[in-house]
Structure 1
């Protein structure tokens, strides 16, 4: 995400956060336990909005929460409009 570079942020991409499951975050700041997920296909009946894909996402995000992660979720539109980076910065800058 180019917005990270614009703000000199260097999250880890495809960060595996779970010891036994293959779950990964799109972007992660492990030292802060902050994850950023970009949910594609929200208007095209993509994986994240269909039944089984949605349930699998719920399982992943609930497990992340139990492990102490804060997960910010965004649509691609929110990323394009700059809403995502604004919220990420709000969390990082506290």
Structure 2
């Protein structure tokens, strides 16, 4: 688990939300996993690391693979919340997660 993922879990616990399932596999054939998920609510959380460092998720092949994963999840009814490290650190991520779980 990355530092950003651990920080987000700390925020989730601090506001007393249920702890999500980590590394949740949502597809029966593909090896796709969400960083965190609330499967009963079909809410997934993805921590997008490396946004400013040319990480795998921001380069061509990785970005395209993520698009396929997120689009497939959407077609299956999932709401996928994506957060950069800065969004987590500023507290924006936890506010959006709280809002999503209230709906």
Give the TM bin, normalised by the shorter chain: over 0.9
Residue-by-residue CA offset, 1:14-38 (whole Å, 9 max, x unaligned): 0000000000000000000000001
Quick check: 1:57 aligned with 2:103? no
Unaligned runs of 5+ in 1: none
The Cα RMSD (Å) is 0.7
Higher relative contact order (CA 8 A, sep 6+): 2
1:67 aligned to which of 76, 89, 93: 76
- Residue segments in structure 2 that go unaligned for 5+ positions in a row: 1-8
Task: Give the structure 1 partner of residue 11 of structure 2.
Answer: 3
Residues matched between the structures, number: 94
1:34 partnered with 2:30 = no
TM-score (norm 1): 0.97
In the aligned structure 2, how far is the partner of 1:42 from the partner of 1:10? 25
Select the residue among 23, 40, 44 that pairs with 1:14.
Answer: 23
TM-score by length of 2: 0.89
